[in-house]
Structure 1
Amino acid sequence: MLDEGVKPTDVSVMGALHACADLGDLERGRFIHKLSVELELDRNVSVVNSLISMYCKCKEVDTAASMFGKLQSRTIVSWNAMILGFAQNGRPIEALNYFSQMQARTVKPDTFTYVSVITAIAELSITHHAKWIHGVVMRNCLDKNVFVTTALVDMYAKCGAIMIARLIFDMMSERHVTTWNAMIDGYGTHGIGKAALELFEEMQKGTIKPNGVTFLSVISACSHSGLVEAGLKCFHMMKENYSIEPSMDHYGAMVDLLGRAGRLNEAWDFIMQMPVKPAVNVYGAMLGACQIHKNVNFAEKVAESLFELNPDDGGYHVLLANIYRAASMWEKVGQVRVSMLRQGLRKTPGCSMVEIKNEVHSFFSGSTAHPSSKKIYAFLEKLICQIKEAGYVPDTNLVLGVEEDVKEQLLSSHSEKLAISFGLLNTTAGTTIHVRKNLRVCADCHNATKYISLVTGREIIVRDMQRFHHFKNGACSCGDYW
């Protein structure tokens, strides 16, 4: 159109921005932004709304917020774009702040607003907030709206309340494919693979056909529960029965399914036989399986491909170093560390969050920044002694280069242990502790939390970057399979 000299209108610019947003193409999005300024369309509120949405979907949410701040006349679409943008970019607190500002300016929320706010609370994973927005939805008579109720199902599942999610699901008179997907995925992340499969079978009997996301959720659910044969069956069914071509996410889920179950040779053969070039997520799943099953040979092959595809991610280097450490290959551990230093790569610091009295408290490993740090560490010291008496043995192999007593000290100051201790200190007996972690829960913290649930008689729910762990009476819902 531009080549033929046809001058774009606001409609054509918005259409092109929508395409950039769907593709995540920031470079072309910026080009169209520049063009809209030249065409003097940057004052058109609909064009600016499209720009805000495009920047949010291209993970440039601060640029979007800057544009939003300069808008003279904001519409409901402007507010919705920003709330959803913050929610989808891992900044749920800001999403909720914008919702509060919107209400303060007496802008009436619509269905899309509530879905965006519910998405933010799902990301935050706090039950109190979940119940609050559920109440708001009911007072506004939107509890029968299929989009809102689907978002509620997803939110409760992501807040650890899987039973409430199922209750809402069962009460729905109308369901979309996304509704089924949310419930199946919820069961999967909670490690209830059999329930996910049963629901999938129930879905197949109805009129709503499963899509690619459904199959991804089912295969992932099978992976988290060790249901390998069922997962393999679903993968083949996807193409044979429903003519759905597997995406890279499906291939990654299959490698995770086989690798997690210890079938590393099959997982490697699967990668080698893929009809498309494997992406980072596929090799990442394989490297994760190598760590679980302490397989150095495959790990080295996989790491080579990963470092080539994604040289800037320090997480994979750390994973390889951990595999070498488990095999007592100290020289190679040192080589990986030197390589990371040369490239300026760092591991993402572990952060755990716990909500107490409607306030979210964040803890980083070894941090003393929290006002209650002295109390937390004193309490944790006593708690470690209690769980040791019950049978807990610290996994000091996870720490290198320091004396044995220092290793234990470093392990005991991991972020999830600090968050759990703070939760125990500030809640009454019998209260369930909910913790959210930004990384995969480490093996030592997983073991320690089992013992903490035993000696304190508390249920502790930990949501890490992959799944939920429900600790109760000295056991975890994952059955140590994660």
Structure 2
Amino acid sequence: MYVLPSAYARVPHHCFVSQKQLNTTQYHYSRDLRISAKVGGELVFDHRVLDEIPVPDTDIFAWNNLLQIHLTNGDFDLVISTYTQLLLRGTVRPDRRTLPRVLTASCRSGDIFLGKQLHGHALKLGFSSDHYVVTALIQMYGRLDSVDTARWLFEKSAHGNSVAWTLLARLYIMKNKPGLAIDMFDQMIESGAEIDSVALATVVGACGVVKSLQQGRKLHRIARNYGLEFDVLVSNSLLKMYIDCGSMKDARENFDGMPAKDVVSWTAIINGYVKKGGFNEGLKLLRQMSVDGFKPDALTFSSILPACARMAAHKHGKEIHGYLLRNSTYLNLMVQNAVMDMHVKSGFIEYASRIFNTMKNKDVVSWTVMIMGYSLHGQGERGVHLFRTMESNSTIQIDQVTYTAVLHACRTACMVEQGKFFFNCITAPKVEHYSLMVALLSRAGLFDEAGIFIEEHKIQNHAEVLRALLDGWRNHQQPKLGKRVIEQLCDLEPLNAENYVLLSNWYAYRARWDMVDKLRETVRDMGLKPRKAYSWIEFRNKVHVFGTGDVSHPRSKRISSELQCLVKKMEDEGYRPSPDFSLHDVEEERECIQIGHSELLAIAFGLISTQPGATIRVTKNLRVCRSCHDSAKVISKIVGREIILKDLNCFHHFKDGLCSCGDFW
């Protein structure tokens, strides 16, 4: 806490000089100050320059210059100490440009007491109505005290300052009150204040936060009326607002109509498509961006790489990775993390591991991506070991997301005691942490302990927790215990069709076909639409999609023949499919034979389309059923190939009759 001397300054008679002397002194002083800053000399040297001025301390411009140097360098303590020296010497009076610099330093250092002292100085020096000083005070109070205090100060000042209006609107957004920011803008228009691009961009951003498309279109009309529609800052804000409001049609129209685009514009539209699942369109825009002469930056690549984080698009991801290796952009830590995450989610865990091991600098995101990656690929023990290694790095601050990753790894590896230890390290666990602990305990067969854990933490009314418990019962083949939980899920989420599908499959497992038909009729009457199961595989730059019992593919007869042949070989091996009460092929008819399941159709297509020995990579939109899972294990042994199947939960690496998930998923 700083205590400043009086704001009143007296100038001794011996310091009065001619204007010519003052101008000469100011020139040399300012030059020396710039030189010392440019060569990176120590800041103490700057103060020595002050002491050597022939006409000491009479130049407020020189003092302000020194304050700005310290502020630019982030040396807020030096800003404050320099201002204190200025007051103590009493040879020059602060002006309207001095206080905003010191107020900014107090704001960034988080010292509200100092800020209030400076407010007092502004009153004593007669600058309390100066718009530069008022703006700095509004920012200081808004960040360190409250927006209400900043608003009170704003209302006491003149309303013609556009910067103050905009600053107050930004403060409302920072304090998670975007609606008030929009109200501020409406009042700004009514008051006749000048509307500039910064003010418009700010309120458009607030509109995106509240996701009001109607209000956003109104602001677009205002921008057009003020001739600011095609200002790059406003155009980019409108583009992001439309994306945030979920209207890619408006966003694309706005983007196509922009006469002047920049990298920010391209990145925003690419990111918008990727987030909405328009992966192919995002990749097309990236190629068009280069054709139009724009060089993608780190943020652009971080936006497009999630579009490649799919097995069917990994080729594009490798191409982008190659481009990055040839350019300095790859040195950016954010991009390296995104590339690593892309390889993890594309099924190439070893690629990701090599990138991680060669990274010179790693942050908490780097470690978290790799820990979760090992877990998703059935290598939970490696994930836990990596977390232990990260703990020894004192520069990494572990967050809740990292704890989620390591708990996931403990669940994958069924490491109960380690999971308990890590859970107890979390200061404020969230539902996802609780559900992972329930999944870990039930996966280990500790159902009584899982029940006690749920009761102690009062989490029995969370659907994620109940599903975790249900997964444990499913893995341990105890369907009798599942019915009560499924019914509870139906009560918690009456409009979730998947819960009724689970109950329907439970009845199907027990051959209660009357109840199956009744439940399906109930789902139809409620207007609910369960997700249809489908799987896909890429071959020769084309994605081939298969549904349950699908016979629409041009090579359907050949696929069916391959499966029939595999079934015979599996029977010769003594394999018999096992039923699964929580089957996830939700649209299948009970008459559908097992070889009609979507993932097996995709696997068969891969076998007849690729060279012997090549790895088969398939993705399914839902969880793989136990029968298909067991079949894929046997098939991998029969054909002598690795089959990688990504489902809703994890990656299954089938090889030599075994699966990386250890039959728990």
Taking structure 2 as the reference length, the TM-score comes to: 0.64
Closer/same/farther in 2, CA of residues 69 and 439 from structure 1, 3 Å limit: farther
Distance in 1 between residues matched to 2:499 and 2:289, nearest whole Å: 41
Q: Which residue of 1 aligns with 2:188?
A: 6
Per-residue CA deviations over 1:248-267 (Å, capped at 9, x if unaligned) read 33233233323333334444
Per-residue CA deviations over 1:293-342 (Å, capped at 9, x if unaligned) read 535556434543x4455433212221222233334555543443232121
Q: Which residue of 1 aligns with 2:332?
A: 145
Name the SS of the counterpart of 1:230 in structure 2.
helix
Distance in 2 between residues matched to 1:76 and 1:441, nearest whole Å: 41
Name the SS of the counterpart of 2:522 in structure 1.
helix
Distance in 1 between residues matched to 2:348 and 2:386, nearest whole Å: 17
2:386 maps to which of 199, 217, 220: 199
Q: Which residue of 2 aligns with 1:88?
A: 275
Say whether the 8 Å CA contact 1:251–1:282 is kept in structure 2: yes
Say whether the 8 Å CA contact 1:203–1:209 is kept in structure 2: no
Distance in 2 between residues matched to 1:398 and 1:248, nearest whole Å: 26
Q: Which residue of 1 aligns with 2:309?
A: 122
Distance in 1 between residues matched to 2:574 and 2:532, nearest whole Å: 29
Q: Do structure 1's residue 231 and structure 2's residue 419 form an aligned pair?
A: yes
Unaligned runs of 5+ in 2: 1-180, 190-194, 584-588
Q: Do structure 1's residue 104 and structure 2's residue 288 form an aligned pair?
A: no
Q: Which residue of 2 aligns with 1:353?
A: 536
Q: Do structure 1's residue 281 and structure 2's residue 464 form an aligned pair?
A: yes
What amino acid is aligned across from residue 210 of structure 1 in structure 2?
A: I
Distance in 2 between residues matched to 1:13 and 1:257, nearest whole Å: 51
Closer/same/farther in 2, CA of residues 470 and 145 from structure 1, 3 Å limit: same
Name the SS of the counterpart of 1:311 in structure 2.
coil
1:433 maps to which of 611, 616, 635: 616
2:647 maps to which of 448, 464, 470: 464
Say whether the 8 Å CA contact 2:570–2:635 is kept in structure 1: yes
Q: Which residue of 2 aligns with 1:221?
A: 409
What amino acid is aligned across from residue 300 of structure 1 in structure 2?
A: R
Per-residue CA deviations over 1:141-198 (Å, capped at 9, x if unaligned) read 3332211111111111112221121111011011111111110110010111111111
Say whether the 8 Å CA contact 1:56–1:89 is kept in structure 2: no
Distance in 2 between residues matched to 1:262 and 1:54, nearest whole Å: 49
Q: Do structure 1's residue 31 and structure 2's residue 218 form an aligned pair?
A: no
Say whether the 8 Å CA contact 2:470–2:485 is kept in structure 1: no
Q: Which residue of 2 aligns with 1:451?
A: 634
Unaligned runs of 5+ in 1: 240-244, 401-405
Closer/same/farther in 2, CA of residues 234 and 226 from structure 1, 3 Å limit: same
Q: Which moved more, 1:179-188 or 1:33-42?
A: 33-42
Q: Which residue of 2 aligns with 1:249?
A: 432
What amino acid is aligned across from residue 484 of structure 2 in structure 1?
A: E
Q: Which residue of 1 aligns with 2:516?
A: 333
Q: Which residue of 2 aligns with 1:75?
A: 262
Identity %: 36
Say whether the 8 Å CA contact 1:154–1:182 is kept in structure 2: yes
Say whether the 8 Å CA contact 2:504–2:519 is kept in structure 1: yes
2:400 maps to which of 212, 223, 226: 212
What's the CA shift for 1:431? 0.7
Distance in 2 between residues matched to 1:252 and 1:53, nearest whole Å: 35
Q: Which residue of 1 aligns with 2:177?
A: none
Q: Which residue of 2 aligns with 1:242?
A: none
Name the SS of the counterpart of 2:426 in structure 1.
helix
Q: Which moved more, 1:63-72 or 1:467-476?
A: 63-72
What amino acid is aligned across from residue 223 of structure 1 in structure 2?
A: R
Say whether the 8 Å CA contact 2:633–2:658 is kept in structure 1: yes
What amino acid is aligned across from residue 116 of structure 1 in structure 2?
A: S
Name the SS of the counterpart of 2:329 in structure 1.
coil
Distance in 2 between residues matched to 1:51 and 1:308, nearest whole Å: 42
Distance in 1 between residues matched to 2:447 and 2:204, nearest whole Å: 43
What amino acid is aligned across from residue 98 of structure 1 in structure 2?
A: L
Name the SS of the counterpart of 1:355 in structure 2.
strand
Q: Which moved more, 1:161-170 or 1:329-338?
A: 329-338
What's the CA shift for 1:60? 4.8
Per-residue CA deviations over 1:337-377 (Å, capped at 9, x if unaligned) read 23212112232112212122233222222223322222222
What's the CA shift for 1:72? 3.9
Closer/same/farther in 2, CA of residues 83 and 286 from structure 1, 3 Å limit: farther
Taking structure 1 as the reference length, the TM-score comes to: 0.87
Say whether the 8 Å CA contact 1:287–1:303 is kept in structure 2: no
Pairwise mapping of residues 247-326 of structure 1 onto structure 2 (< 5 A)?
247-274=430-457, 278-293=461-476, 294-296=478-480, 299-301=483-485, 303-304=487-488, 306-326=489-509
Q: Which residue of 2 aligns with 1:414?
A: 597
What amino acid is aligned across from residue 362 of structure 1 in structure 2?
A: V
Closer/same/farther in 2, CA of residues 427 and 457 from structure 1, 3 Å limit: same
Per-residue CA deviations over 1:266-307 (Å, capped at 9, x if unaligned) read 444444444679544334434444544535556434543x44
Say whether the 8 Å CA contact 2:559–2:604 is kept in structure 1: yes
Closer/same/farther in 2, CA of residues 475 and 397 from structure 1, 3 Å limit: closer
Distance in 2 between residues matched to 1:260 and 1:45, nearest whole Å: 54
Distance in 1 between residues matched to 2:538 and 2:514, nearest whole Å: 42
Per-residue CA deviations over 1:433-475 (Å, capped at 9, x if unaligned) read 1111111111111111111101100101111111010001111
Closer/same/farther in 2, CA of residues 297 and 275 from structure 1, 3 Å limit: closer
Say whether the 8 Å CA contact 2:533–2:547 is kept in structure 1: yes
Q: Which residue of 2 aligns with 1:370?
A: 553
Q: Which residue of 1 aligns with 2:139?
A: none
Distance in 2 between residues matched to 1:123 and 1:63, nearest whole Å: 28
What's the CA shift for 1:477? 0.9
Distance in 1 between residues matched to 2:450 and 2:229, nearest whole Å: 51
What's the CA shift for 1:395? 4.0
Q: Which moved more, 1:307-316 or 1:217-226?
A: 307-316
Q: Which residue of 2 aligns with 1:168?
A: 355
Q: Which residue of 2 aligns with 1:403?
A: none
Say whether the 8 Å CA contact 2:580–2:625 is kept in structure 1: no
2:341 maps to which of 150, 154, 157: 154
Q: Do structure 1's residue 178 and structure 2's residue 362 form an aligned pair?
A: no
Q: Which moved more, 1:407-416 or 1:141-150?
A: 407-416
Distance in 2 between residues matched to 1:389 and 1:59, nearest whole Å: 54
Say whether the 8 Å CA contact 2:580–2:626 is kept in structure 1: no
Closer/same/farther in 2, CA of residues 412 and 128 from structure 1, 3 Å limit: same
Name the SS of the counterpart of 2:440 in structure 1.
helix
Distance in 1 between residues matched to 2:250 and 2:452, nearest whole Å: 44
C-alpha RMSD of the superposition: 3.0
Return the index of the structure with the highest Cα Rg. 2
Name the SS of the counterpart of 1:197 in structure 2.
helix
Distance in 2 between residues matched to 1:299 and 1:33, nearest whole Å: 50
Q: Which moved more, 1:260-269 or 1:181-190?
A: 260-269
Name the SS of the counterpart of 2:323 in structure 1.
helix
